[in-house]
Chain A
Amino acid sequence: MVKPPETTSTVIRTRGLGKSYGRVRAVESVSLDVRQGEIYGFLGRNGAGKTTTIRMLLGLARPTEGEIELFGRPLRRARLELLGRVGCLVEGAAAYPNLTVRENLELQRRLTASPRRSVEDTLRLLGLEAYADRRAGRLSFGNRQRLSLARALLHSPELIILDEPANALDPAGIVEIRELLRTLADEEGVTIFMSSHILAEVAQLADRIGIIHRGRLVEELDYESFRRKGRRFIELGVDDPVAAEALLRARLGFADIVRDDAGGLRVADVDADAGAIAKEVVLAGIRLHRLLQVQEDLEEHFMRLTGGES
Protein backbone atom coordinates (compact mmCIF):
# COMPACT_ATOMS: atom_id res chain seq x y z
CA MET A 1 0.00 0.00 0.00
CA VAL A 2 1.20 3.50 -0.82
CA LYS A 3 0.74 5.92 2.03
CA PRO A 4 -0.20 9.44 1.04
CA PRO A 5 2.36 12.04 2.11
CA GLU A 6 1.43 13.95 5.25
CA THR A 7 1.92 17.31 3.54
CA THR A 8 -1.13 17.15 1.25
CA SER A 9 -4.65 17.28 2.60
CA THR A 10 -6.81 14.22 2.28
CA VAL A 11 -10.15 14.79 0.59
CA ILE A 12 -11.56 11.27 0.90
CA ARG A 13 -10.63 9.03 3.77
CA THR A 14 -12.36 5.76 4.55
CA ARG A 15 -11.49 3.44 7.39
CA GLY A 16 -12.73 -0.13 7.55
CA LEU A 17 -15.62 0.70 5.26
CA GLY A 18 -18.02 -2.16 4.70
CA LYS A 19 -21.44 -2.82 3.30
CA SER A 20 -23.50 -5.97 3.53
CA TYR A 21 -26.77 -6.79 1.84
CA GLY A 22 -28.11 -9.61 3.93
CA ARG A 23 -25.46 -12.29 3.79
CA VAL A 24 -23.71 -10.75 0.80
CA ARG A 25 -20.70 -8.62 1.73
CA ALA A 26 -20.51 -6.16 -1.14
CA VAL A 27 -17.67 -4.11 0.36
CA GLU A 28 -15.35 -5.19 3.15
CA SER A 29 -12.83 -3.22 5.22
CA VAL A 30 -12.00 -0.65 2.56
CA SER A 31 -9.54 1.95 3.85
CA LEU A 32 -8.43 4.45 1.27
CA ASP A 33 -7.06 7.98 1.11
CA VAL A 34 -7.49 10.36 -1.79
CA ARG A 35 -5.40 13.50 -1.73
CA GLN A 36 -6.43 16.93 -2.87
CA GLY A 37 -5.86 17.59 -6.57
CA GLU A 38 -5.15 14.03 -7.56
CA ILE A 39 -6.99 11.75 -9.93
CA TYR A 40 -7.67 8.49 -8.18
CA GLY A 41 -8.59 5.56 -10.39
CA PHE A 42 -10.77 3.01 -8.66
CA LEU A 43 -10.42 -0.21 -10.59
CA GLY A 44 -12.34 -3.39 -10.27
CA ARG A 45 -14.25 -5.99 -12.21
CA ASN A 46 -18.01 -5.92 -12.57
CA GLY A 47 -19.54 -6.53 -9.16
CA ALA A 48 -16.25 -5.90 -7.33
CA GLY A 49 -17.82 -3.23 -5.09
CA LYS A 50 -16.91 -0.02 -6.95
CA THR A 51 -20.41 1.37 -7.25
CA THR A 52 -21.38 0.36 -3.72
CA THR A 53 -18.32 2.24 -2.42
CA ILE A 54 -19.29 5.28 -4.49
CA ARG A 55 -22.88 5.11 -3.23
CA MET A 56 -21.58 5.16 0.33
CA LEU A 57 -19.29 8.12 -0.44
CA LEU A 58 -22.32 10.04 -1.70
CA GLY A 59 -24.56 9.12 1.21
CA LEU A 60 -26.82 7.01 -0.99
CA ALA A 61 -26.11 3.82 0.92
CA ARG A 62 -25.51 3.46 4.61
CA PRO A 63 -22.26 1.69 5.53
CA THR A 64 -22.72 -1.32 7.75
CA GLU A 65 -19.27 -0.72 9.20
CA GLY A 66 -16.47 1.82 9.09
CA GLU A 67 -16.20 5.55 8.65
CA ILE A 68 -16.14 8.00 5.76
CA GLU A 69 -14.54 11.41 5.98
CA LEU A 70 -14.75 14.00 3.22
CA PHE A 71 -12.57 17.10 3.52
CA GLY A 72 -11.58 15.90 6.97
CA ARG A 73 -15.11 15.74 8.36
CA PRO A 74 -17.35 12.72 8.94
CA LEU A 75 -19.93 12.39 6.18
CA ARG A 76 -22.47 11.07 8.67
CA ARG A 77 -22.50 14.31 10.65
CA ALA A 78 -22.01 16.95 7.96
CA ARG A 79 -23.68 15.41 4.90
CA LEU A 80 -25.38 18.56 3.61
CA GLU A 81 -22.34 20.79 3.87
CA LEU A 82 -19.98 18.21 2.41
CA LEU A 83 -22.18 17.17 -0.52
CA GLY A 84 -22.33 20.81 -1.60
CA ARG A 85 -18.63 20.49 -2.43
CA VAL A 86 -19.09 17.28 -4.42
CA GLY A 87 -20.20 16.67 -8.01
CA CYS A 88 -21.06 13.19 -9.19
CA LEU A 89 -21.93 10.92 -12.04
CA VAL A 90 -23.09 7.59 -10.72
CA GLU A 91 -24.48 4.45 -12.34
CA GLY A 92 -24.89 5.87 -15.81
CA ALA A 93 -26.12 9.02 -17.43
CA ALA A 94 -29.60 10.31 -16.66
CA ALA A 95 -31.64 13.46 -17.17
CA TYR A 96 -35.26 14.59 -17.12
CA PRO A 97 -36.28 13.62 -20.66
CA ASN A 98 -39.06 16.22 -21.02
CA LEU A 99 -36.67 19.08 -20.29
CA THR A 100 -34.04 20.53 -22.59
CA VAL A 101 -30.33 20.28 -21.87
CA ARG A 102 -30.34 23.90 -20.69
CA GLU A 103 -33.36 23.33 -18.43
CA ASN A 104 -31.77 20.24 -16.91
CA LEU A 105 -28.71 22.32 -16.05
CA GLU A 106 -30.90 25.16 -14.81
CA LEU A 107 -32.44 22.74 -12.28
CA GLN A 108 -29.00 21.82 -11.04
CA ARG A 109 -28.03 25.50 -10.87
CA ARG A 110 -31.02 26.33 -8.71
CA LEU A 111 -30.61 23.30 -6.46
CA THR A 112 -26.96 24.06 -5.83
CA ALA A 113 -27.52 27.84 -5.63
CA SER A 114 -24.89 28.44 -8.33
CA PRO A 115 -24.49 31.71 -10.24
CA ARG A 116 -26.67 32.30 -13.31
CA ARG A 117 -23.82 32.24 -15.80
CA SER A 118 -22.76 28.75 -14.68
CA VAL A 119 -25.29 27.14 -17.03
CA GLU A 120 -23.87 28.77 -20.17
CA ASP A 121 -20.30 28.26 -18.95
CA THR A 122 -20.90 24.56 -18.42
CA LEU A 123 -22.65 24.15 -21.77
CA ARG A 124 -19.55 25.62 -23.40
CA LEU A 125 -17.14 23.56 -21.29
CA LEU A 126 -18.77 20.27 -22.28
CA GLY A 127 -19.40 21.25 -25.91
CA LEU A 128 -23.17 21.07 -25.49
CA GLU A 129 -24.10 24.52 -26.89
CA ALA A 130 -25.47 23.00 -30.10
CA TYR A 131 -27.80 20.77 -28.08
CA ALA A 132 -28.78 23.32 -25.44
CA ASP A 133 -32.40 23.54 -26.55
CA ARG A 134 -32.84 19.89 -27.41
CA ARG A 135 -34.88 17.73 -25.05
CA ALA A 136 -32.69 15.38 -23.05
CA GLY A 137 -34.88 12.44 -24.07
CA ARG A 138 -33.81 12.99 -27.68
CA LEU A 139 -30.08 13.07 -27.04
CA SER A 140 -27.69 10.33 -28.10
CA PHE A 141 -26.20 8.21 -25.30
CA GLY A 142 -22.91 10.03 -25.65
CA ASN A 143 -24.47 13.46 -25.32
CA ARG A 144 -26.57 12.30 -22.38
CA GLN A 145 -23.31 11.24 -20.75
CA ARG A 146 -21.93 14.72 -21.45
CA LEU A 147 -25.02 16.26 -19.90
CA SER A 148 -24.55 14.16 -16.77
CA LEU A 149 -20.92 15.24 -16.62
CA ALA A 150 -22.01 18.84 -17.09
CA ARG A 151 -24.40 18.52 -14.15
CA ALA A 152 -21.57 17.10 -12.03
CA LEU A 153 -19.31 20.05 -12.88
CA LEU A 154 -21.83 22.90 -12.92
CA HIS A 155 -21.40 24.08 -9.33
CA SER A 156 -17.58 23.98 -9.51
CA PRO A 157 -17.18 21.17 -6.97
CA GLU A 158 -13.90 20.56 -5.19
CA LEU A 159 -14.39 16.80 -5.42
CA ILE A 160 -15.82 15.00 -8.44
CA ILE A 161 -16.89 11.39 -8.06
CA LEU A 162 -17.36 9.67 -11.40
CA ASP A 163 -18.62 6.15 -11.96
CA GLU A 164 -17.51 4.96 -15.40
CA PRO A 165 -17.26 8.47 -16.94
CA ALA A 166 -16.19 7.29 -20.40
CA ASN A 167 -19.28 5.13 -20.95
CA ALA A 168 -20.94 5.77 -24.30
CA LEU A 169 -18.48 8.49 -25.32
CA ASP A 170 -16.84 8.27 -28.75
CA PRO A 171 -13.02 8.17 -28.93
CA ALA A 172 -12.78 11.94 -29.50
CA GLY A 173 -15.16 12.51 -26.58
CA ILE A 174 -13.07 10.30 -24.32
CA VAL A 175 -9.92 12.29 -25.14
CA GLU A 176 -11.78 15.57 -24.62
CA ILE A 177 -13.17 14.54 -21.22
CA ARG A 178 -9.81 13.14 -20.18
CA GLU A 179 -8.14 16.46 -20.97
CA LEU A 180 -10.87 18.36 -19.17
CA LEU A 181 -10.47 16.25 -16.01
CA ARG A 182 -6.68 16.57 -16.17
CA THR A 183 -6.98 20.35 -16.45
CA LEU A 184 -9.42 20.53 -13.55
CA ALA A 185 -7.07 18.52 -11.36
CA ASP A 186 -3.85 20.26 -12.41
CA GLU A 187 -4.99 23.85 -12.70
CA GLU A 188 -7.84 24.11 -10.24
CA GLY A 189 -6.82 21.52 -7.69
CA VAL A 190 -10.06 19.58 -8.12
CA THR A 191 -9.89 16.07 -6.71
CA ILE A 192 -11.27 13.35 -8.96
CA PHE A 193 -12.31 9.91 -7.77
CA MET A 194 -13.07 7.85 -10.82
CA SER A 195 -14.20 4.27 -11.00
CA SER A 196 -13.78 2.21 -14.11
CA HIS A 197 -13.30 -1.25 -15.44
CA ILE A 198 -11.61 0.13 -18.57
CA LEU A 199 -7.92 -0.14 -17.78
CA ALA A 200 -6.71 1.99 -20.70
CA GLU A 201 -8.84 4.89 -19.54
CA VAL A 202 -7.49 4.76 -16.01
CA ALA A 203 -3.95 4.13 -17.22
CA GLN A 204 -3.92 7.41 -19.12
CA LEU A 205 -5.41 9.56 -16.42
CA ALA A 206 -4.92 8.35 -12.87
CA ASP A 207 -2.24 9.55 -10.46
CA ARG A 208 -2.98 6.77 -8.04
CA ILE A 209 -4.94 3.59 -8.39
CA GLY A 210 -6.92 1.52 -5.96
CA ILE A 211 -7.83 -1.99 -7.03
CA ILE A 212 -10.91 -3.52 -5.47
CA HIS A 213 -11.67 -7.20 -5.80
CA ARG A 214 -14.56 -9.09 -4.24
CA GLY A 215 -15.31 -6.12 -2.03
CA ARG A 216 -11.78 -5.72 -0.69
CA LEU A 217 -9.23 -3.09 -1.60
CA VAL A 218 -6.39 -5.37 -2.65
CA GLU A 219 -3.88 -2.69 -3.58
CA GLU A 220 -3.32 1.03 -3.71
CA LEU A 221 -0.46 2.07 -5.93
CA ASP A 222 1.19 5.26 -7.00
CA TYR A 223 0.50 4.99 -10.68
CA GLU A 224 2.89 7.77 -11.63
CA SER A 225 5.91 5.70 -10.55
CA PHE A 226 4.25 2.50 -11.81
CA ARG A 227 3.87 4.14 -15.23
CA ARG A 228 7.49 5.29 -15.24
CA LYS A 229 9.16 2.13 -14.09
CA GLY A 230 6.50 -0.49 -14.57
CA ARG A 231 6.00 -3.15 -11.95
CA ARG A 232 9.06 -5.34 -11.90
CA PHE A 233 9.41 -8.60 -10.03
CA ILE A 234 11.38 -11.79 -10.02
CA GLU A 235 9.77 -15.17 -10.37
CA LEU A 236 11.60 -18.30 -9.28
CA GLY A 237 10.73 -21.98 -9.33
CA VAL A 238 12.27 -24.06 -6.52
CA ASP A 239 11.75 -27.51 -5.04
CA ASP A 240 11.19 -26.12 -1.52
CA PRO A 241 9.34 -22.77 -1.74
CA VAL A 242 8.73 -22.50 2.02
CA ALA A 243 12.43 -22.80 2.82
CA ALA A 244 13.34 -20.49 -0.08
CA GLU A 245 10.93 -17.82 1.11
CA ALA A 246 12.25 -17.95 4.66
CA LEU A 247 15.80 -17.77 3.34
CA LEU A 248 15.17 -14.74 1.14
CA ARG A 249 13.41 -12.92 3.95
CA ALA A 250 16.15 -13.69 6.44
CA ARG A 251 19.28 -13.39 4.30
CA LEU A 252 18.32 -10.70 1.77
CA GLY A 253 15.71 -8.87 3.84
CA PHE A 254 12.98 -9.02 1.18
CA ALA A 255 9.47 -8.32 2.40
CA ASP A 256 7.30 -8.47 -0.70
CA ILE A 257 7.34 -12.18 -1.44
CA VAL A 258 4.31 -14.15 -2.56
CA ARG A 259 4.09 -17.90 -2.98
CA ASP A 260 1.93 -19.05 -5.89
CA ASP A 261 -0.10 -22.23 -6.14
CA ALA A 262 2.34 -23.85 -8.58
CA GLY A 263 5.14 -23.86 -6.00
CA GLY A 264 6.84 -20.74 -7.33
CA LEU A 265 7.86 -17.54 -5.57
CA ARG A 266 7.38 -13.97 -6.69
CA VAL A 267 9.70 -11.35 -5.23
CA ALA A 268 8.46 -7.82 -5.86
CA ASP A 269 10.86 -5.80 -3.71
CA VAL A 270 12.23 -2.83 -5.65
CA ASP A 271 15.86 -3.76 -4.96
CA ALA A 272 15.45 -7.46 -5.68
CA ASP A 273 18.43 -8.72 -7.66
CA ALA A 274 18.16 -11.95 -9.64
CA GLY A 275 21.87 -12.81 -9.26
CA ALA A 276 21.83 -12.44 -5.47
CA ILE A 277 18.66 -14.51 -5.21
CA ALA A 278 20.11 -17.32 -7.35
CA LYS A 279 23.30 -17.37 -5.33
CA GLU A 280 21.57 -17.58 -1.94
CA VAL A 281 19.12 -20.26 -3.04
CA VAL A 282 21.79 -22.48 -4.62
CA LEU A 283 24.18 -22.08 -1.68
CA ALA A 284 21.40 -23.15 0.68
CA GLY A 285 21.04 -26.39 -1.26
CA ILE A 286 17.60 -25.58 -2.64
CA ARG A 287 17.10 -26.73 -6.20
CA LEU A 288 16.43 -23.80 -8.53
CA HIS A 289 14.79 -24.73 -11.82
CA ARG A 290 13.40 -21.37 -12.98
CA LEU A 291 14.41 -17.71 -12.56
CA LEU A 292 12.65 -14.95 -14.49
CA GLN A 293 12.68 -11.17 -14.35
CA VAL A 294 9.16 -9.92 -15.24
CA GLN A 295 7.99 -6.43 -16.16
CA GLU A 296 4.21 -5.98 -15.70
CA ASP A 297 1.91 -3.40 -17.23
CA LEU A 298 -1.32 -2.29 -15.54
CA GLU A 299 -3.43 -4.87 -17.33
CA GLU A 300 -1.20 -7.77 -16.32
CA HIS A 301 -0.94 -6.37 -12.82
CA PHE A 302 -4.71 -6.05 -12.54
CA MET A 303 -5.34 -9.52 -13.94
CA ARG A 304 -2.85 -11.04 -11.55
CA LEU A 305 -4.34 -9.27 -8.54
CA THR A 306 -7.91 -10.11 -9.42
CA GLY A 307 -7.14 -13.73 -10.14
CA GLY A 308 -7.59 -13.63 -13.91
CA GLU A 309 -10.63 -15.84 -13.80
CA SER A 310 -13.95 -14.56 -15.05
Chain B
Amino acid sequence: MSFPRVLGTELIKLKRCKVTWISWIAYSFIVLVCGLFMWIMKDPETAGRLGLIGQKARFSVGAQTASWSTLMAMLEQTSGVGGMIVLSVIVTYIFGREYAEGMGKYMLSLPLRRSVIVIAKLTTALAWFGVLCLSLVAEGLLIGAALGLEGFSWALFAASALRILFTSGLFTALAPAVAWVAVGSGGYLAPLGYSIFTLVLGTVFGATDWAPYCPWSIVPLLSGVAGPGSAQLRTGSALVLCATFLVGAFGVIAHLASADNAQ
Protein backbone atom coordinates (compact mmCIF):
# COMPACT_ATOMS: atom_id res chain seq x y z
CA MET B 1 0.00 0.00 0.00
CA SER B 2 1.62 3.23 -1.08
CA PHE B 3 -1.03 5.58 0.37
CA PRO B 4 0.23 5.53 4.00
CA ARG B 5 3.79 6.07 2.73
CA VAL B 6 2.79 9.04 0.59
CA LEU B 7 0.62 10.48 3.34
CA GLY B 8 3.52 10.14 5.79
CA THR B 9 5.84 12.05 3.46
CA GLU B 10 3.23 14.78 2.95
CA LEU B 11 3.17 15.29 6.72
CA ILE B 12 6.98 15.39 6.87
CA LYS B 13 6.97 18.07 4.17
CA LEU B 14 5.08 20.38 6.56
CA LYS B 15 7.98 20.33 9.02
CA ARG B 16 9.40 23.82 9.70
CA CYS B 17 6.86 25.15 7.26
CA LYS B 18 5.94 28.79 7.85
CA VAL B 19 2.58 28.48 6.12
CA THR B 20 1.26 26.14 8.85
CA TRP B 21 1.91 28.82 11.47
CA ILE B 22 0.63 31.62 9.27
CA SER B 23 -2.63 29.74 8.65
CA TRP B 24 -3.02 29.08 12.40
CA ILE B 25 -2.38 32.76 13.20
CA ALA B 26 -4.87 33.84 10.50
CA TYR B 27 -7.54 31.51 11.82
CA SER B 28 -6.87 32.48 15.44
CA PHE B 29 -7.22 36.10 14.38
CA ILE B 30 -10.90 35.36 13.67
CA VAL B 31 -11.36 34.33 17.30
CA LEU B 32 -9.49 37.38 18.54
CA VAL B 33 -11.65 39.71 16.45
CA CYS B 34 -14.83 38.00 17.70
CA GLY B 35 -13.49 38.29 21.26
CA LEU B 36 -12.74 41.97 20.70
CA PHE B 37 -16.33 42.56 19.53
CA MET B 38 -17.64 40.74 22.59
CA TRP B 39 -15.53 42.92 24.84
CA ILE B 40 -16.74 46.07 23.04
CA MET B 41 -20.36 44.94 23.40
CA LYS B 42 -19.76 44.14 27.02
CA ASP B 43 -18.17 47.45 27.83
CA PRO B 44 -18.96 49.95 25.05
CA GLU B 45 -18.13 52.98 27.20
CA THR B 46 -14.50 51.92 27.80
CA ALA B 47 -14.18 50.85 24.17
CA GLY B 48 -15.53 54.23 23.09
CA ARG B 49 -13.08 56.08 25.35
CA LEU B 50 -10.21 54.05 23.84
CA GLY B 51 -11.41 55.06 20.36
CA LEU B 52 -12.26 51.49 19.41
CA ILE B 53 -15.77 52.33 18.17
CA GLY B 54 -17.26 55.30 16.41
CA GLN B 55 -20.88 56.50 16.62
CA LYS B 56 -22.04 54.27 13.78
CA ALA B 57 -20.53 51.16 15.33
CA ARG B 58 -21.89 52.14 18.73
CA PHE B 59 -25.35 52.08 17.18
CA SER B 60 -24.95 48.59 15.69
CA VAL B 61 -23.19 47.21 18.76
CA GLY B 62 -25.95 48.56 20.90
CA ALA B 63 -28.40 46.26 19.14
CA GLN B 64 -26.63 43.11 20.38
CA THR B 65 -25.58 41.82 23.75
CA ALA B 66 -22.35 40.13 24.70
CA SER B 67 -23.15 36.52 25.43
CA TRP B 68 -22.03 33.03 24.59
CA SER B 69 -24.71 32.65 21.95
CA THR B 70 -23.60 35.89 20.24
CA LEU B 71 -19.93 34.85 20.34
CA MET B 72 -20.64 31.41 18.90
CA ALA B 73 -22.95 32.82 16.22
CA MET B 74 -20.24 35.29 15.27
CA LEU B 75 -17.64 32.49 15.10
CA GLU B 76 -19.95 30.44 12.89
CA GLN B 77 -20.38 33.32 10.47
CA THR B 78 -16.77 34.46 10.28
CA SER B 79 -15.44 30.92 9.95
CA GLY B 80 -17.95 30.50 7.12
CA VAL B 81 -15.95 32.96 5.02
CA GLY B 82 -12.54 32.65 6.67
CA GLY B 83 -12.62 28.87 6.34
CA MET B 84 -13.11 29.07 2.60
CA ILE B 85 -10.10 31.39 2.26
CA VAL B 86 -7.85 29.48 4.65
CA LEU B 87 -8.62 26.07 3.10
CA SER B 88 -7.91 27.50 -0.36
CA VAL B 89 -4.56 28.81 0.83
CA ILE B 90 -3.68 25.44 2.37
CA VAL B 91 -4.63 23.50 -0.78
CA THR B 92 -2.82 26.03 -2.96
CA TYR B 93 0.31 25.65 -0.86
CA ILE B 94 0.28 21.86 -0.71
CA PHE B 95 -0.21 21.40 -4.47
CA GLY B 96 1.47 24.56 -5.75
CA ARG B 97 4.68 24.20 -3.78
CA GLU B 98 5.72 21.14 -5.81
CA TYR B 99 5.94 23.37 -8.85
CA ALA B 100 7.19 26.53 -7.11
CA GLU B 101 9.99 24.53 -5.46
CA GLY B 102 10.83 22.61 -8.64
CA MET B 103 9.81 19.24 -7.17
CA GLY B 104 6.78 18.49 -9.36
CA LYS B 105 8.80 16.60 -11.96
CA TYR B 106 10.48 14.48 -9.27
CA MET B 107 7.17 13.73 -7.57
CA LEU B 108 5.62 12.63 -10.85
CA SER B 109 8.55 10.48 -11.94
CA LEU B 110 8.21 8.34 -8.82
CA PRO B 111 6.71 4.87 -9.15
CA LEU B 112 3.45 5.99 -7.57
CA ARG B 113 -0.10 6.21 -8.82
CA ARG B 114 -0.86 9.86 -9.38
CA SER B 115 -4.32 9.40 -7.87
CA VAL B 116 -2.60 8.28 -4.65
CA ILE B 117 -0.51 11.46 -4.65
CA VAL B 118 -3.64 13.60 -5.09
CA ILE B 119 -5.62 11.78 -2.40
CA ALA B 120 -2.70 11.98 0.05
CA LYS B 121 -2.30 15.70 -0.57
CA LEU B 122 -6.03 16.39 -0.21
CA THR B 123 -6.11 14.30 2.98
CA THR B 124 -3.20 16.32 4.37
CA ALA B 125 -4.91 19.60 3.49
CA LEU B 126 -8.17 18.51 5.11
CA ALA B 127 -6.40 17.19 8.22
CA TRP B 128 -4.52 20.48 8.54
CA PHE B 129 -7.76 22.44 8.10
CA GLY B 130 -9.51 20.14 10.58
CA VAL B 131 -6.88 20.92 13.21
CA LEU B 132 -7.36 24.65 12.56
CA CYS B 133 -11.16 24.30 12.97
CA LEU B 134 -10.76 22.41 16.26
CA SER B 135 -8.31 25.04 17.39
CA LEU B 136 -10.81 27.78 16.47
CA VAL B 137 -13.51 26.13 18.58
CA ALA B 138 -11.12 25.62 21.52
CA GLU B 139 -9.87 29.20 21.31
CA GLY B 140 -13.49 30.39 21.19
CA LEU B 141 -14.13 28.52 24.42
CA LEU B 142 -11.06 30.06 26.04
CA ILE B 143 -11.80 33.59 24.95
CA GLY B 144 -15.48 33.37 26.00
CA ALA B 145 -14.42 32.10 29.41
CA ALA B 146 -11.73 34.79 29.71
CA LEU B 147 -14.29 37.52 28.96
CA GLY B 148 -16.71 36.03 31.48
CA LEU B 149 -19.60 35.98 29.01
CA GLU B 150 -23.02 35.07 30.23
CA GLY B 151 -25.33 32.30 29.10
CA PHE B 152 -22.86 29.43 28.78
CA SER B 153 -24.11 25.90 28.51
CA TRP B 154 -22.31 22.87 27.17
CA ALA B 155 -25.33 22.10 25.00
CA LEU B 156 -25.15 25.55 23.36
CA PHE B 157 -21.38 25.32 22.89
CA ALA B 158 -21.48 21.78 21.53
CA ALA B 159 -24.29 22.57 19.08
CA SER B 160 -22.47 25.63 17.80
CA ALA B 161 -19.11 23.85 17.62
CA LEU B 162 -20.71 21.04 15.60
CA ARG B 163 -22.23 23.58 13.21
CA ILE B 164 -18.78 25.17 12.71
CA LEU B 165 -17.19 21.77 12.06
CA PHE B 166 -20.03 20.73 9.77
CA THR B 167 -19.93 23.86 7.60
CA SER B 168 -16.12 23.71 7.54
CA GLY B 169 -16.41 20.08 6.46
CA LEU B 170 -18.56 21.18 3.55
CA PHE B 171 -15.68 23.30 2.28
CA THR B 172 -14.03 19.98 1.47
CA ALA B 173 -16.23 19.89 -1.61
CA LEU B 174 -14.58 23.04 -2.96
CA ALA B 175 -10.95 22.06 -2.29
CA PRO B 176 -10.18 19.69 -5.23
CA ALA B 177 -11.02 22.37 -7.80
CA VAL B 178 -8.43 24.67 -6.19
CA ALA B 179 -5.91 21.81 -6.41
CA TRP B 180 -6.78 21.34 -10.07
CA VAL B 181 -6.05 25.01 -10.81
CA ALA B 182 -2.78 24.74 -8.83
CA VAL B 183 -1.46 21.74 -10.81
CA GLY B 184 -2.87 23.06 -14.08
CA SER B 185 -1.10 26.38 -13.71
CA GLY B 186 1.93 24.97 -11.90
CA GLY B 187 2.17 27.43 -9.05
CA TYR B 188 0.46 29.60 -6.45
CA LEU B 189 -0.88 32.61 -8.27
CA ALA B 190 -3.67 31.11 -10.38
CA PRO B 191 -5.27 29.07 -7.55
CA LEU B 192 -5.24 32.10 -5.25
CA GLY B 193 -6.81 34.20 -8.00
CA TYR B 194 -9.37 31.45 -8.59
CA SER B 195 -10.20 31.35 -4.86
CA ILE B 196 -10.78 35.09 -4.73
CA PHE B 197 -12.91 34.86 -7.87
CA THR B 198 -15.07 32.07 -6.40
CA LEU B 199 -15.45 34.02 -3.15
CA VAL B 200 -16.78 36.97 -5.14
CA LEU B 201 -18.94 34.63 -7.20
CA GLY B 202 -20.37 33.11 -4.01
CA THR B 203 -21.18 36.56 -2.64
CA VAL B 204 -22.83 37.71 -5.87
CA PHE B 205 -24.92 34.55 -6.29
CA GLY B 206 -25.63 34.52 -2.55
CA ALA B 207 -27.97 37.44 -3.12
CA THR B 208 -29.91 35.72 -5.89
CA ASP B 209 -32.39 32.85 -6.13
CA TRP B 210 -29.62 30.74 -7.64
CA ALA B 211 -27.70 30.73 -4.35
CA PRO B 212 -28.75 27.16 -3.35
CA TYR B 213 -27.23 25.87 -6.59
CA CYS B 214 -24.01 27.88 -6.64
CA PRO B 215 -21.32 25.78 -4.89
CA TRP B 216 -19.54 28.84 -3.50
CA SER B 217 -22.75 30.32 -2.04
CA ILE B 218 -24.05 27.18 -0.34
CA VAL B 219 -21.64 27.04 2.61
CA PRO B 220 -21.78 30.80 3.41
CA LEU B 221 -25.56 30.50 3.22
CA LEU B 222 -25.49 27.61 5.65
CA SER B 223 -23.18 29.41 8.06
CA GLY B 224 -25.52 32.40 8.05
CA VAL B 225 -22.91 34.84 6.77
CA ALA B 226 -25.04 35.47 3.69
CA GLY B 227 -28.08 36.13 5.85
CA PRO B 228 -30.58 33.73 7.37
CA GLY B 229 -30.78 31.71 4.19
CA SER B 230 -30.18 28.14 5.28
CA ALA B 231 -33.87 27.50 4.83
CA GLN B 232 -33.36 28.06 1.10
CA LEU B 233 -31.00 25.07 0.86
CA ARG B 234 -32.45 22.08 -0.90
CA THR B 235 -31.47 18.54 -1.81
CA GLY B 236 -30.11 20.00 -5.02
CA SER B 237 -27.55 21.96 -2.98
CA ALA B 238 -26.06 18.75 -1.59
CA LEU B 239 -25.90 17.33 -5.11
CA VAL B 240 -24.17 20.47 -6.37
CA LEU B 241 -21.53 20.17 -3.63
CA CYS B 242 -21.00 16.48 -4.40
CA ALA B 243 -20.67 17.24 -8.10
CA THR B 244 -18.19 20.07 -7.40
CA PHE B 245 -16.07 17.72 -5.31
CA LEU B 246 -16.12 14.96 -7.92
CA VAL B 247 -15.38 17.25 -10.87
CA GLY B 248 -12.47 18.83 -9.00
CA ALA B 249 -11.06 15.50 -7.80
CA PHE B 250 -11.30 13.80 -11.19
CA GLY B 251 -9.95 16.94 -12.86
CA VAL B 252 -6.79 17.10 -10.79
CA ILE B 253 -6.18 13.34 -11.03
CA ALA B 254 -6.78 13.31 -14.79
CA HIS B 255 -4.52 16.31 -15.25
CA LEU B 256 -1.63 14.71 -13.40
CA ALA B 257 -2.20 11.33 -14.99
CA SER B 258 -2.46 12.31 -18.60
CA ALA B 259 -1.33 15.81 -19.40
CA ASP B 260 2.21 17.00 -19.99
CA ASN B 261 3.39 18.02 -16.59
CA ALA B 262 5.49 21.00 -17.42
CA GLN B 263 7.30 22.78 -14.66
* Chain A residues with a Cβ under 8 A of chain B: 55, 58-62, 79-84, 86, 88, 90-99, 103, 106-107, 110-113, 135, 151
Contact B109 A59 (CB under 8 A): yes
0/1 per residue, B219-263, Cβ < 8 Å to A? 000000000000000000000000000000000000000111111
0/1 per residue, B172-209, Cβ < 8 Å to A? 00000000000000000000000000000000000000
0/1 per residue, B107-141, Cβ < 8 Å to A? 01111110000000000000000000000000000
Contact A83 B105 (CB under 8 A): no
Contact A95 B103 (CB under 8 A): yes
Q: Which of B17, B112, B262 contacts A111 (CB 8 A)?
A: B112
B9 at the interface (CB under 8 A from A): yes
Contact B106 A80 (CB under 8 A): no
Contact A58 B109 (CB under 8 A): yes
**Min CB gap B250→A, angstroms:** 18
Contact A111 B16 (CB under 8 A): no
Q: Which residues of B contact A135 (CB under 8 A)?
A: 16
B1-43 interface (Cβ within 8 A of A):
5-6, 8-9, 12-13, 15-18
Contact A111 B109 (CB under 8 A): no
Contact A99 B15 (CB under 8 A): yes
**Min CB gap A74→B, angstroms:** 16
Contact B101 A60 (CB under 8 A): no
Helix, strand, loop or mixed for chain A's interface? loop
Helix, strand, loop or mixed for chain B's interface? loop
Q: How far is the CA of A92 from the CA of B101 in the complex (A)?
A: 11
Q: How far is the CA of A218 from the CA of B134 in the complex (A)?
A: 62
Contact B101 A111 (CB under 8 A): no
Q: Which residues of B contact A110 (CB under 8 A)?
A: 5, 8-9, 12
Q: Which of B102, B111, B259 contacts A80 (CB 8 A)?
A: B111
Q: Which residues of A contact B6 (CB under 8 A)?
A: 111
A99-B16, A110-B5, A135-B16 known; A84-B261 Cβ under 8 A: no
A96-B103, A135-B16 known; A62-B9 Cβ under 8 A: no
A-B pairs with beta carbons under 8 Å apart, 15 shown = A60-B105, A60-B261, A61-B260, A62-B258, A62-B260, A80-B112, A83-B110, A90-B105, A92-B102, A95-B101, A98-B16, A98-B18, A99-B13, A110-B8, A111-B112
**Min CB gap A57→B, angstroms:** 9
A106-B12, A111-B5 known; A91-B108 Cβ under 8 A: no
Contact A103 B260 (CB under 8 A): no
Contact A112 B110 (CB under 8 A): yes
Q: Which residues of A contact B259 (CB under 8 A)?
A: 62
A97-B101, A111-B110 known; A60-B12 Cβ under 8 A: no
Question: For residue B108, which residue of chain A has the nearest CB?
Answer: A60
**Min CB gap A68→B, angstroms:** 13
